[in-house]
Amino acid sequence: MSEEKNVPTQEDERTRYSDAELEEFRKIILEKLDSAMRDYEQLKLSLQYLDGNDIQDTSPTFKMFEEGASNLSKEETGKLAERQEKIIQHLKEALIRIENKTYGICRETKKLISKERLRAVPHATLSIDAKNTEKKKNPLI
């Protein structure tokens, strides 16, 4: 009887995704980019509304509470908008990696990132293993 060896799969041996696979990921990224840009525009509009929302009540206590809530809301909306900007930038960078045919290659291990991970996080630059190793080194990530 012959012993069965742990033979690497085709995906383990490949150094990059095929053009057809890259095109599939490009479509996913473009959809996510479109959605992220729409969300960002909504957040910007919300910030403009919050900036223009003057409190014209006669009660000084009411004004103080409303201004505090308004400032907190502006701060949170600003943080969300900033986060959306980063996501948009990461997605644009992913499109560049597709053009360069380097998309889906882990920047740490230089192996292919799983398709499942890329479908869930299309701008990922680390495999799950590399990301977990990074988290162990720096738990605040």
Model pLDDT for residues 3-33, shown as the tens digit of each residue: 333 334 444 578 899 999 999 999 999 999 9
pLDDT at 61: 57
The CA angle 37-82-51, to the nearest 5 degrees, is 95
Report the half-sphere exposure of 53 (CA within 13 A, side-chain side): 15
Length of the chain: 141
d(CA 64, CA 53): 14
Domain residue limits, the chain: 30-100, 104-141
Report the half-sphere exposure of 133 (CA within 13 A, side-chain side): 9
pLDDT digits (tens, 9 = 90+) for 84-100: 999 999 999 999 999 99
Which residues, at least 6 apart from 70, have a Cβ–Cβ distance to it below 8 Å?
50, 53, 55
Q: What does the DSSP 8-state code read for residue 6? A: -
pLDDT digits (tens, 9 = 90+) for 37-92: 999 999 998 888 766 545 455 565 555 545 555 566 888 888 999 999 999 999 99
pLDDT at 73: 80
Among the residues of 1-141, which ranges form H helices?
10-13, 19-51, 60-99, 115-120, 128-137
d(CA 72, CA 60): 18
